[in-house]
């Protein structure tokens, strides 16, 4: 694929840049189509993204909707068919401003004003459309083979809520129609698996206008959440963790000492109590530090592994909220490990093994990323180097492949992030391990060493699920609501064929409950076919026990498997043994 750079050079496009160039060119072609259909349009930014492209446009008093997208797509196809050459040119700053002013592009003029005085200002032109851009781009409009406009939203100019709200038109583009078709198929499948829809159908959680970003967990969702928490507690008990609970509201001074007030206060909720400022915790770590600080520790106590299922609150913009994926309060499956320097590698390796065990349980593959020191960090160069090397040594000892994400560590230390991949190939950042030399220093943490002197411990911050609420959203879409038996909110549904079999169905239901199986008895006078379809398609129950006259007479149950659709008749005792084993083994 040939591309053209802003100096006029034409070259073969590097393979890893192809999608970016295609999508950036698609944004320009879309802008030209919008200009033709809406002559008053004033264009702001139009970049390519990892998932597609968009353009932010000021359309004056005109309001666009998704119903307008087909007309824009048709005009884009006309421009593509015209096969216009895409040509770059460069102008001195005064001439660039004059050109944009002449064309009525006030956002572009403002953009030029934001650039350094010595910036090279390049443009690309295709037919009657000119855009300020550094490129590179496709050489001709006809080189754009496959695209689709996907939606419309609002976006503030320069992402500043004090500026005007613009119209963001979004789209996707690919190398071929085959790639686009596959993307649209996955998009349709993702919509079918949308955790918000499934959560409503299955009665897992709800969101309401009275509490935006603060999810309500319903009875079914609490069963699912508690099953995850039971697993978390069992795993952490086995690995030698102790569990604590720390206050949700603590004095501002604590957050100033930890460094969160300086680095995170815009995302924190606060209140005034007894004429002092208190903060609702956005993280659990300062509370964990105070637990450590509550008594004297010897080197023999370390490593000390402290776990907490802490409810945290963070201020997110309303427009960013999205089901359980982006909320304003969530439960972090946190743990803080306090250790001696020589224990760093073993403790990190232990956490990695736990994360691997959990993700494997759900069938997730994952990639590992090491994030290094950010620009707004706290602490000495020596501590940061030691912390970063500690993480690297653990990863290399484990033989794990990883990529380095420069400058994306926490303000108090470098971190290892785990990006898991779901059944649709989407990636989610969930688990993290952060190595922290700073907070023990800030709070003056110590332990008594072998020689009787006081030493400063090192601290690990880590999560596995990340946010339990978000993890539930991911699992819901990963399984399309068809949770494995041990995790399913309802593991069995008892379906009597008629009123004649209700008494025996009641006894089956009682036996299941006595065995701690999560179950329901459908007492409605509906036809059995309807009850089966609802249990399988809506409730997504792993097992349906069909109770008719024959089962009543023989003391058996007909077991319908959700995943295979097969029905087998067996004794109730045999079924109880089978499902108990599945639950115990978490399969």
Catalytic residues: 285, 314, 332, 334, 336, 415, 461
Evaluate whether 518 touches 490 at the Cβ level (below 8 Å): yes
- Strand order, beta sheet including 42-43: 42-43, 53-58, 165-174, 146-156
Cβ neighbors of 448 (< 8 A, separation 6 or more) are: 296, 297, 298, 299, 454, 455
Phi, psi of 339 (to 5 degrees): -150, 170
Evaluate whether 133 touches 122 at the Cβ level (below 8 Å): yes
Other Cβ atoms closer than 10 A to 305: 21
**Residue 188, CA distances (Å) to 175, 197, 411, 472 in order:** 20, 13, 39, 21
Q: What string of H, E and C letters represents the secondary structure of 79-127?
A: HHHHCCECEEEEECHHHHHHHHHHCCCHHHHHHHHHCCCCCCEEEEEEC
Region of 269 on the Ramachandran plot (φ > 0 left; ψ -120 to 50 alpha; else beta): beta
d(CA 124, CA 132): 6
Pairing of strands 458-467, 427-436: antiparallel
Other Cβ atoms closer than 10 A to 450: 10
């Amino acid at each position: 694929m040939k591309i053209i750079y802003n100096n006029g050079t034409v070259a073969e496009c590097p393979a890893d840049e192809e999608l970016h160039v295609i999508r950036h060119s698609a944004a320009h072609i879309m802008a030209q189509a919008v200009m033709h259909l809406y002559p008053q349009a004033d264009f702001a930014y139009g970049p390519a993204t990892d998932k597609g492209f968009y353009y932010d446009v000021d359309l004056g008093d005109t309001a666009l909707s998704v119903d307008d997208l087909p007309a824009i797509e048709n005009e884009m196809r006309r421009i593509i068919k015209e096969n216009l050459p895409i040509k770059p040119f460069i102008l001195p700053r005064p001439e660039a401003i004059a050109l944009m002013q002449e064309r009525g592009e006030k956002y572009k003029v403002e953009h030029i004003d934001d650039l350094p005085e010595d910036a090279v200002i390049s443009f690309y032109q295709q037919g009657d459309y000119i855009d300020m851009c550094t490129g590179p781009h496709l050489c001709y409009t006809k080189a754009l083979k496959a695209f689709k406009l996907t939606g419309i939203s609002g976006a503030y100019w320069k992402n500043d809520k004090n500026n005007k709200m613009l119209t963001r038109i979004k789209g996707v583009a690919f190398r071929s129609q085959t790639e686009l078709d596959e993307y649209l198929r996955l998009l349709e499948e993702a919509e079918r698996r949308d955790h918000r829809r499934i959560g409503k159908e299955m009665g897992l959680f709800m969101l309401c206008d009275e509490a935006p970003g603060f999810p309500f967990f319903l009875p079914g969702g609490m069963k699912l959440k508690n099953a995850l928490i039971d697993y978390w507690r069992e795993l952490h008990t086995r690995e030698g963790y102790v569990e604590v609970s720390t206050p949700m509201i603590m004095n501002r001074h604590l957050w100033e000492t930890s460094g969160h007030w300086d680095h995170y206060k815009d995302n924190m909720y606060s209140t005034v109590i007894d004429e002092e400022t208190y903060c609702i915790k956005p993280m659990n770590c300062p509370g964990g530090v105070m637990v450590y600080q509550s008594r004297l520790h010897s080197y023999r106590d370390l490593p000390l592994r402290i776990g907490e299922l802490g409810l945290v609150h963070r201020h997110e913009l309303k427009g960013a909220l999205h089901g359980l994926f982006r909320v304003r309060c969530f439960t972090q499956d946190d743990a803080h490990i306090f250790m001696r320097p020589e224990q760093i590698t073993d403790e990190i390796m232990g956490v990695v093994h736990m994360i691997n065990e959990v993700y494997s349980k759900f069938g997730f593959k994952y990639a590992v990323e090491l994030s290094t020191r950010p620009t707004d960090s706290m602490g000495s160069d020596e501590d940061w180097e030691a912390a970063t090397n500690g993480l690297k040594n653990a990863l290399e000892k484990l033989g794990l492949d990883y990529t380095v994400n420069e400058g994306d560590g926490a303000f108090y230390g470098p971190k290892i992030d785990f990006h898991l991949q779901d059944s649709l190939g989407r990636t989610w950042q969930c688990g993290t391990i952060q190595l922290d030399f700073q907070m023990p220093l800030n709070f003056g943490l110590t332990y008594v060493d072998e020689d009787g002197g006081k030493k400063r411990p090192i601290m690990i911050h880590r999560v596995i699920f990340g946010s339990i609420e978000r993890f539930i959203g991911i699992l819901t879409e990963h399984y399309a609501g068809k949770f494995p038996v041990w995790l399913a909110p309802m593991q069995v549904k008892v379906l009597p064929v008629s009123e004649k079999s209700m008494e025996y169905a009641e006894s089956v239901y009682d036996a299941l409950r006595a065995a701690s199986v999560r179950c329901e008895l459908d007492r409605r006078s509906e036809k059995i076919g309807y009850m089966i379809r609802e249990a399988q398609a809506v409730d997504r129950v792993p097992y349906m026990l069909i109770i008719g006259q024959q089962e009543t007479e023989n003391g058996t149950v007909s077991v319908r498997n959700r995943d295979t659709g097969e029905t087998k008749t067996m004794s109730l005792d045999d079924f109880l043994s089978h499902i108990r084993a599945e639950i115990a083994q978490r399969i």
